[in-house]
A and B are shown apart, each in its own frame.
Chain A
Amino acid sequence: MKKILIADDEDILRILIADTLEDDFEIEEAEDGKEALEKIRENEYDLIVLDYMMPHLTGLEVLEEVRKDQNHTKVLMLTAKAQDADREKAISTGADFFMSKPFSPMELLSLVENILAS
């Protein structure tokens, strides 16, 4: 079973995503950037769902760290509308996919399935 890390500081959203994905994937959660990075260092994930704006370490900073040594891990960034302008920066740092908040859990599920099927 493919392994996914969900890093988002918004409780409800994180749990919703986890609930949506947990039937098909192995899920782990992180509540902020720092926790996410710790988990990434200890485990190998097939996909990391990363919120752009988190306390302690932003998604972008986590991404920078990830890309230092893991190139095969796919990264899906969750951005709020106001940060759309920063997508370019995220792409150059190494984000593979994006999803704008708010989104519906089902949209996310189908995107994740697509990503991991390819």
Chain B
Amino acid sequence: MNIYFFWVLIAFLFLSQLLLLLVLSFRKLLINKKEQTISQQYDKLTESFSSYMLDSTDDHFLEELYNISHQTIVLERLLNHYVAVTKGSANSSQVTQLSETYLTERYTKQLKRRNWAIRMNTLYFIEDFHMKSLTPFLKEKLHKSFRLDQETQQLIRTLTSLNEPMTLSVMARYVDAPVRLYIDVFKRLQLDIQLEELDAALKNEHNNKVLKYAAVSYIGMTGLMGFLPRIEEELLSDDEELRIQALKSIQHLQYISSPSLLTPFFHSTSWQERMFAARIAGKLQLSRYQEVLSELLGDSVWWVRYSSAEALTQFADGDILLSHLSANHPDRYARDMATQWEASLLGSEK
């Protein structure tokens, strides 16, 4: 072993580290300085910005904005905070106008950058600021993409929020498109188009199961009562996953036109179906199912036992029922579960 080799190695490493340290310190200095200026300018503009957002004739803000050095970044931050705290800002003409005037160019460039995080953030901002001016550019980008990675998913969300239902047909190209992405898309569609698309999805016009699951699930989440009969129809489907989604939806909608529709699910072979049936019986206080709920308290799956006990607490006489069951249920696990819920009822009443 040659000692000089090691000396040279370590000296080389050390010196190159020192050089890197100097460069990084200098960079940090510059970044900090820039950040300081930006936050000063941000603070200075907050007041006039909010006046402008409330009343666009008060254009004092535009003047101030014109005179600062970090125009786009400061504006981006102001708008970003604004949309985070106010509702309906997607339709605010000021947000769209300001962002389209000052940020279109910057964002077009950023979307071509190699840095993934920058591109992602840009997509978020375009959605938040509702920048329709970028639609053609984004569409082109979506057509060119061939993998449903995080970026493409966000691209789909962003484009949908700009009222472009074409994203649904693009998604159909990807067999692995997850339910949650379809739900995100439904959520972003304009109401009239949304109803049309939900209808089409329930009819399974596109022969796309995942799309149908998403539609059923979305209807429950948002409480679109008008679709209830269609959801109830799905309870009779052959597809177990679809039935589960329909039950979940009904649980959220908190309504069922004929409670007897539930009966077969209490003895289903799928524990999720038993669980949701129990939950619905509790939520809707269907006293005719009290007996079967007591039975399910001794189910082999924890979730079913848990949900049945929870359902029993919803009835006016739930505490009496539970205390009876905690002493007399033939199953030990059932007695435990009943005791646990009875205790929590007691604890929260005091």
Residues of chain A having any CB pair with chain B under 8 Å:
10-13, 15-16, 19-20, 101-105, 107
* Complex: A20 Cα to B50 Cα, angstroms: 9
On whether the beta carbons of B81 and A102 are closer than 8 Å, the reply is no
Distance in Å: Cβ of A32 to nearest Cβ of chain B: 16
Cβ 8 A contact of B86, one of A11, A19, A103: A103
On whether the beta carbons of B54 and A12 are closer than 8 Å, the reply is no
- Can you list 12 A-B contacts with CB-CB less than 8 angstroms, sorted by A residue number? A12-B46, A12-B50, A12-B82, A13-B85, A16-B54, A16-B85, A19-B50, A19-B51, A20-B54, A102-B85, A103-B86, A105-B54
Which residues of the other chain, A, contact B256 by a CB distance below 8 angstroms?
A: none
* Complex: A104 Cα to B47 Cα, angstroms: 17
On whether the beta carbons of B88 and A15 are closer than 8 Å, the reply is no
Distance in Å: Cβ of B112 to nearest Cβ of chain A: 30
Residues of chain B having any CB pair with chain A under 8 Å:
46-47, 49-51, 53-54, 78, 81-89
* Complex: A10 Cα to B86 Cα, angstroms: 12
Closest to B55 in A: A19
Q: A11-B81, A19-B50, A20-B54 are in contact. List 7 more A-B contacts (CB 8 A).
A: A12-B81, A16-B54, A102-B86, A103-B87, A104-B87, A105-B54, A107-B87
Which residues of the other chain, B, contact A15 by a CB distance below 8 angstroms?
A: 46-47, 50
Cβ 8 A contact of B50, one of A16, A102, A107: A16
Distance in Å: Cβ of A72 to nearest Cβ of chain B: 29
Cβ 8 A contact of B53, one of A11, A16, A102: A16
Which residues of the other chain, A, contact B54 by a CB distance below 8 angstroms?
A: 16, 19-20, 105
* Complex: A13 Cα to B53 Cα, angstroms: 11
* Complex: A16 Cα to B81 Cα, angstroms: 11
Closest to A102 in B: B87
Q: B47, B50, B54: which has the most chain A beta carbons within 10 Å?
A: B50
Cβ 8 A contact of B78, one of A12, A13, A101, A107: A12
Distance in Å: Cβ of A103 to nearest Cβ of chain B: 5
Which residues of the other chain, A, contact B49 by a CB distance below 8 angstroms?
A: 12
* Complex: A20 Cα to B88 Cα, angstroms: 16
* Complex: A11 Cα to B85 Cα, angstroms: 10
* Complex: A103 Cα to B87 Cα, angstroms: 4
Which residues of the other chain, A, contact B51 by a CB distance below 8 angstroms?
A: 19
Distance in Å: Cβ of A101 to nearest Cβ of chain B: 6
Q: B51, B81, B82, B85: which has the most chain A beta carbons within 10 Å?
A: B85
* Complex: A46 Cα to B51 Cα, angstroms: 25
Which residues of the other chain, A, contact B47 by a CB distance below 8 angstroms?
A: 15
On whether the beta carbons of B86 and A105 are closer than 8 Å, the reply is yes
On whether the beta carbons of A104 and B86 are closer than 8 Å, the reply is yes
* Known contacts A12-B46, A16-B50, A20-B54: A101-B85 contact under CB 8 Å: yes
* Complex: A112 Cα to B92 Cα, angstroms: 22
Q: A12, A16, A20, A103: which has the most chain B beta carbons within 10 Å?
A: A12
Distance in Å: Cβ of B35 to nearest Cβ of chain A: 17
Distance in Å: Cβ of B163 to nearest Cβ of chain A: 21
* Complex: A15 Cα to B46 Cα, angstroms: 8
Distance in Å: Cβ of B8 to nearest Cβ of chain A: 53
* Complex: A10 Cα to B88 Cα, angstroms: 18
Closest to A10 in B: B85
Distance in Å: Cβ of A94 to nearest Cβ of chain B: 19
Which residues of the other chain, B, contact A103 by a CB distance below 8 angstroms?
A: 86-87
* Complex: A68 Cα to B81 Cα, angstroms: 35
Distance in Å: Cβ of A54 to nearest Cβ of chain B: 14
